[in-house]
Amino acid sequence: MNVEEYRDYCLSKKGVTESFPFDEKTLVFKVMGKIFTICGLERIPTQVNLKCDPERAIELREEYDGLIYPGYHMNKKHWNTVEIENNIPRQVLLELIDHSYDLVVSSLTKKLQAELQSL
């Protein structure tokens, strides 16, 4: 998956916005104002940070050793850094983006969840 496909998929999800809140080379996607994925546009190969259930994060790091590792500049327990242009199957990447999005949505207040549903 290239960065444009990643961007398009993230933006296809309900309630998602993109911005550059840190600098002009770090693309951030938020759902209802909460970050669910970050992409360093100048990193080669392209890497993204995705929120992940802690137990699943460990399993993924073992299964995709060298391609998925503890989140760069993030809480290492809850975030993974994933190399999206290498040997990780596209379907796995889509599932990881979905998982990150779903984790953030589940942590939203009931009010924000209701607002998201109404979009």
pLDDT tens figures, 66-111: 999 999 889 999 999 999 987 899 999 999 999 999 999 999 999 9
pLDDT digits (tens, 9 = 90+) for 27-77: 999 999 999 999 999 988 999 999 999 999 999 999 999 999 999 889 999
Q: Does domain 3-112 have CATH number 3.20.20.150?
A: no
Bridge-based pairing state of the strands 47-51 and 79-83: antiparallel
Per-residue confidence (pLDDT) for residue 97, from 0 to 100? 98
Per-residue confidence (pLDDT) for residue 87, from 0 to 100? 84
Q: Which own/partner pairs from 35-43 qualify as long-range (CB within 8 Å, at least 24 positions apart)?
A: 35/104, 36/100, 36/101, 36/103, 36/104, 37/10, 37/97, 37/100, 37/101, 38/74, 39/3, 39/6, 39/7, 40/72, 41/3
Global confidence as pTM = 0.95
